[in-house]
Structure 1
Amino acid sequence: MAPPPGPVTRPGPVHPGYGPPLALLAAPSHRLYARLVDFGVLIALVLVVLWAGLTLAGDDGGARGANALWALWCALGYLLLYDPLAHWLFGGRTLGKWLFGVRVVRLHDGGPVGLFTALGREWFYLFGSLFTGLVAGAGFLIAAWCLWDTPFKQGLHDKVMGTVVIRSRPAAGG
């Protein structure tokens, strides 16, 4: 596993002799594509757990209801823990982030995110999106904030938890 990239700074000048920036910020499109892959993984996991819970119950109505409730709790657990555990255990990467070459790091030093930072980041994203979506119809703003944020292209969940999403490998073709 490669060491952390170091502090995240603004991209520097592109003139020869100045050197590259310490870390390059991830493109919003890569963040979106990674999120879509991770959402697909979550949906698949939830469907498998729900199917297993309902199938194992057989025809017994009481057991079927209990298994469905158990499966629902497992699905909720996946939803709340998939991203944070992946970020904590796999160097800021989920499956989607790994596929698109991006990862989450601490803003102040570029190091890996800890468990509580990862939990706070994801839960702010989930509950903030749910709340603003229900109240103002604007749940997408939590993540979309990175489209106009300067200088680090952070979503609101990144700002709150002091994280930033960077490229973990060079972009294709460049």
Structure 2
Amino acid sequence: MSNEPPPPGEPPENDPFRKQPPESTPPSDGPQQPPQGPPQDDPYGSGRSGSPYGSGQGGGSPYDGGGQPPPYDAGGSGGPYGGADPLAGMPPLADFGKRFLARVIDALIIFVPLILISLLAGGWDVTTDNGDDWDSFTNQVNTGRQWLWSLISLVAYVGYDTIMTARNGQSVGKRLMKIRVAMLNDGSVPDSSSSLLRAVVLWVPALVCCFCLWWIVIIITILADKPYKQGLHDKAGKTVVVSAAQ
């Protein structure tokens, strides 16, 4: 082994203690470019974080109604059409006089054909005996034939009201008076179940047990109800009667 020192000014290439560290490249003064590709929290590459099903407008769902309140406030603090006023956004409520005339027209439309058919078929005997007229009437009511005819009448009235209401919200009488039945929550035409329930509450008590008394109850509830002027049958079907005038 040689003991001679290395020549001055030129460090050997293999001397780790004499080597200089490599020079680092100075940073550029230009803008830094972001890394390419979608962010880590956006696996679908949509360019925004969060759910890939977001609407992109306020981060809400496209099915949440745009932040609008529900159309019907079950607590009664707002109207069925979304306004603070319970009648806001609704067509004008039908006048009671028009409702009454429409009901009379519809009742006659069913009553006249039924009474004519009944007379022709012997469903109701209008002849009198030598006895008391009231006793004769009571005896006829207690016969099975009269109960059957009462059932037919009930089906006719309830069926007419149900079919006409579910079709477009208007019976013949309501069409003539330019009023219609609508669902309270959104103003749409009542469906079959709502129309049937409404007709049953309206006609069954009247035709089965208490004709005059039940109509008085219906009239009072319409006049006294606030703010929608709903009779008991309207409350049962969750409906309201409004103007259909153009």
Same fold (TM over 0.5): yes
TM-score of the two chains, using structure 2 as the length reference: 0.50
8 Å contact 1:53–1:70 — kept in the other structure?
A: no
Q: Which is worse superposed, 78-87 or 98-107?
A: 78-87
Matched residue, 1:93 = 170
Report the CA distance shift for 1:133/1:73 in structure 2 as closer, same or farther (over 3 A).
Answer: closer
- Once residues 48 and 112 of structure 1 are traced to their aligned partners in structure 2, the CA distance between those partners, rounded to angstroms, is 33
TM-score of the two chains, using structure 1 as the length reference: 0.69
Aligned length: 146
Displacement of 1:53 after TM fit?
3.0
- Once residues 161 and 245 of structure 2 are traced to their aligned partners in structure 1, the CA distance between those partners, rounded to angstroms, is 20
| Alignment partner of 1:140 out of 201, 205, 216 | 216
Displacement of 1:47 after TM fit?
1.9
| Alignment partner of 1:82 out of 160, 163, 171 | 160
Matched residue, 1:44 = 112
- Once residues 76 and 153 of structure 1 are traced to their aligned partners in structure 2, the CA distance between those partners, rounded to angstroms, is 26
Displacement of 1:73 after TM fit?
4.9
- Once residues 205 and 149 of structure 2 are traced to their aligned partners in structure 1, the CA distance between those partners, rounded to angstroms, is 25
Displacement of 1:45 after TM fit?
2.1
% identical equivalent positions: 24
Matched residue, 2:244 = 168
Matched residue, 1:121 = 198
Displacement of 1:69 after TM fit?
8.3
- Once residues 118 and 206 of structure 2 are traced to their aligned partners in structure 1, the CA distance between those partners, rounded to angstroms, is 24
Matched residue, 1:151 = 227
Displacement of 1:22 after TM fit?
3.1
- Once residues 236 and 107 of structure 2 are traced to their aligned partners in structure 1, the CA distance between those partners, rounded to angstroms, is 22
Displacement of 1:141 after TM fit?
1.1
What is the DSSP-based 3-state SS (H/G/I as helix, E as strand, rest coil) of the residue aligned with 1:159?
helix
Look up the equivalent residue of 2:223 and give its one-letter code: L
- Once residues 32 and 139 of structure 1 are traced to their aligned partners in structure 2, the CA distance between those partners, rounded to angstroms, is 11
Looking at secondary structure, tell me which structure has more helix per residue. Answer: 1
Displacement of 1:150 after TM fit?
0.8
Unmatched 5+ stretches in structure 1: 1-5, 13-20, 56-66
Report the CA distance shift for 1:133/1:115 in structure 2 as closer, same or farther (over 3 A).
Answer: same
- Once residues 86 and 11 of structure 1 are traced to their aligned partners in structure 2, the CA distance between those partners, rounded to angstroms, is 25
Larger radius of gyration: 2
Report the CA distance shift for 1:25/1:132 in structure 2 as closer, same or farther (over 3 A).
Answer: farther
What is the DSSP-based 3-state SS (H/G/I as helix, E as strand, rest coil) of the residue aligned with 2:188?
coil
Kindly report the root-mean-square deviation, in angstroms, between the aligned alpha carbons of the 2 structures.
3.3
Unmatched 5+ stretches in structure 2: 1-79, 124-144
Displacement of 1:39 after TM fit?
1.1
Displacement of 1:24 after TM fit?
0.9
- Once residues 155 and 105 of structure 2 are traced to their aligned partners in structure 1, the CA distance between those partners, rounded to angstroms, is 18
Listed one character per residue, the Cα deviations across residues 53-73 of structure 1 (whole Å, up to 9, x for unaligned) are 349xxxxxxxxxxx9887665
1:28 aligns with 2:100: no
What is the DSSP-based 3-state SS (H/G/I as helix, E as strand, rest coil) of the residue aligned with 2:210?
helix
Listed one character per residue, the Cα deviations across residues 108-159 of structure 1 (whole Å, up to 9, x for unaligned) are 000000111111001111234467838xx45421243111211111111111
- Once residues 207 and 150 of structure 2 are traced to their aligned partners in structure 1, the CA distance between those partners, rounded to angstroms, is 18
- Once residues 38 and 104 of structure 1 are traced to their aligned partners in structure 2, the CA distance between those partners, rounded to angstroms, is 14
Displacement of 1:76 after TM fit?
3.3
